[in-house]
């Protein structure tokens, strides 16, 4: 009984951690949209590179953990899917205006473009892995329901 309670508590902690990462990414996404839509008036412009780097690192961290445990991943990723996020890499960005307004050099603009592209690629991978995971879970649950309806119990269902 203690082991089951411990596993449940561990699962709950992991789910909350992943869920918080999802909300953090959502917050970063909103900040980046604000900067890219109106770089002159945004109070967050000074943090553009920090937001971009943090977004990428947090998304990569979530992806690594997803590959390891898959516990609570749906909740964190659903934050984006349900709100059509991440959105900032889907928007048209005029990098010439960003460069002029923020007084960035060519290498800084290239770094922004590269980081944005890396975020998009990583997100596409996460999105694909989540859909694959959900499909596998659905197949296993369907198999379990089918087996139970025939009087067979599957106790070794691994998720």
Non-local CB neighbours of 79 within 8 Å, separated by 6+ positions: 19, 22, 23, 25, 26, 85
* Number of domains comprising the chain: 1
Yes or no: say if 158 and 95 are a contact pair by the CB < 8 Å rule.
no
Between residues 81 and 22, the one the model is more confident about = 22
Select from 39, 16, 21, 17 the least CA-distant residue to 88. 39
Percent of the chain with pLDDT over 90: 28
Dihedral in degrees, nearest 10, Cα atoms 74, 76, 77, 83: 120
Structural domain of 85? 2-149
What is the predicted pLDDT for the residue at 99? 92
Structural domain contains residue 155:
no
User: What is the pTM assigned to this prediction?
Assistant: 0.70
Structural domain contains residue 10:
yes
Residue 10, CA atoms < 13 Å, CB-side half-sphere: 7
Structural domain contains residue 159:
no
Per-residue pLDDT tens digits for 23-33: 888 899 999 99
Q: Is the pLDDT assigned to residue 127 strictly greater than 50?
A: yes
Structural domain contains residue 157:
no
């Amino acid at each position: 009984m203690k082991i089951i309670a411990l596993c449940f508590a561990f699962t709950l902690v992991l789910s909350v951690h992943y869920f918080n990462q999802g909300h953090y990414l959502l917050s970063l996404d909103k900040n980046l949209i604000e900067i890219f839509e109106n770089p002159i008036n945004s109070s967050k412009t000074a943090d553009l590179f920090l937001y971009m780097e943090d977004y990428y690192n947090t998304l990569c961290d979530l992806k690594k953990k997803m590959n390891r445990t898959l516990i609570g991943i749906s909740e964190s990723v659903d934050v984006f899917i349900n709100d059509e996020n991440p959105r900032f890499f889907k928007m048209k960005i005029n990098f010439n205006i960003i460069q002029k307004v923020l007084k960035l050099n060519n290498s800084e603009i290239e770094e922004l473009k590269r980081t944005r592209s890396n975020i998009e690629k990583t997100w596409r991978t996460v999105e694909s892995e989540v859909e694959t995971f959900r499909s596998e879970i659905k197949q296993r649950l369907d198999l379990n329901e089918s087996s139970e309806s025939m009087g067979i119990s599957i106790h070794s269902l691994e998720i």
